[in-house]
Structure 1
């Protein structure tokens, strides 16, 4: 069996689902527009620059989620999927995923975005396995605003991927090939240890690194 790992934002989606969720909350009036949009944009700029403190960001994002009862969150999430995410999914991304699924590969999305935002996205893309930042949930199903474990960003993607595989009594070395598709230099730690890193819609830093190391480059969103 082969393994195919995918980053989500700007890799399978031409948007950043986390940032867009924040913009959506502003648009529907669920949060204070000025203060939230400013903080959300600051964190997004830090992510693009590779200077984001993932714990600080997740505490901000999960703290916002904790301000709503679960029923309201689920209602907003369904609206977000219909208005923002589903229209953004491209046939090219679905086709790439399907190629690996049809080949019998083990497929997973590995994302720094939290599990609440990304779980319905993975489902919509037909991907069973999702490795994402896990929010703490209380006995009533509400989010507490706290992060469980370590962030799934940068080197954290290695830690969480290895733990996910270990739960199935597997490790990276057990697979004949391991693909990892990503758009960002933030994912260089995991890309550097798989057999087939693929720079996918790469940012400038990753594009330069990929070219220097002979990694393939693909663009899913040039149509």
Structure 2
């Protein structure tokens, strides 16, 4: 296992933002006040797209919403969310990309700013065993407290969390002959800049401009949404 392949999730392996869509789903099924939640969710999403999002503020909002409900109820809703929203977004081009790295025997991980509750079932559906995500604090019986453990997995935080994850396995990024990272967003430039093979994947305008300037390869798996 001489190579490592890292993937962002939202708009990279799936053509949607899973965190935003989870919020829309909660509104749609009547779990939260639709008007108030959608207004705040949309504002955070716009900040993310503009690169101005405060990740701690957003995660406290998202995890605080989850903490209102028992874990059993959340898990049941997430199964419905997977069927209605995520499964239709698992597209052949992304699945083929993952499989190519699997067939090559690469160590693989999804590294996402979205929290583990939302993303763990999606990572499994994509066939990626390792997930580095924002970690929600849990009670002893598995319910969410609404608090974030550690620092967010966004921006420079992705680099920090990657190194911590590799350290736990007795590895360093430099140990790999080839390290890929696929991402759509300028928010991931810190991690894109430390791998040997950064790939701007379905890039937004800011990342496209930066990737073009740096001479990074550009990959289009599906049309941006």
Which TM-score band (shorter chain)? over 0.9
Partner of 1:187: 188
SS of 2:85's equivalent in the other structure is helix
Which residue in 1 is equivalent to 2:139? 138
Give the structure 1 partner of residue 63 of structure 2.
Answer: 62
Superposed CA offset, 1:163-210 (max 9, x none): 000000001000001000000000000001110000000000000000
Q: Report 1:111-190 matches (<5 A).
A: 111-190=112-191
User: Residue 150 of structure 1 aligns to a residue in which SS?
Assistant: coil
What does 1:35-74 correspond to in 2, within 5 Å? 35-74=36-75
Partner Cα distance (1:129, 1:77) in 2: 19
Measure how far apart 1:86 and its partner are.
0.6
TM-score, length of structure 1 as denominator length: 0.99
Deviations 1:40-85 (A, max 9, x none): 0000000000000000000000000000001100000000000000
* 8 A Cα contact 2:64 2:146, kept in partner: yes
Find runs of 4+ consecutive structure 1 residues off by over 4 angstroms.
none
Unpaired runs of 5+ residues, structure 1, are: none
Q: Please state how far the C-alpha of 1:222 moved relative to its aligned partner.
A: 4.2
Aligned position for 2:204: 203
Is the counterpart of residue 104 in structure 1 residue 105 in structure 2?
A: yes
Long gaps (5+) in structure 2: none
TM-superposition CA deviations, 1:124-183 (whole Å, max 9, x none) = 001000000000000111000000000000000000000000000001000001000000
Alpha carbons 2:137, 2:144 under 8 Å: kept: yes
Q: Which residue of 2 aligns with 1:27?
A: 28
Counterpart position of 1:92: 93
Q: Deviations over 1:81-112 (max 9, x none)?
A: 00000111100000000000100000000000
Corresponding residue pairs, total: 223
Q: Distance in 1 between matches of 2:102 and 2:3?
A: 10
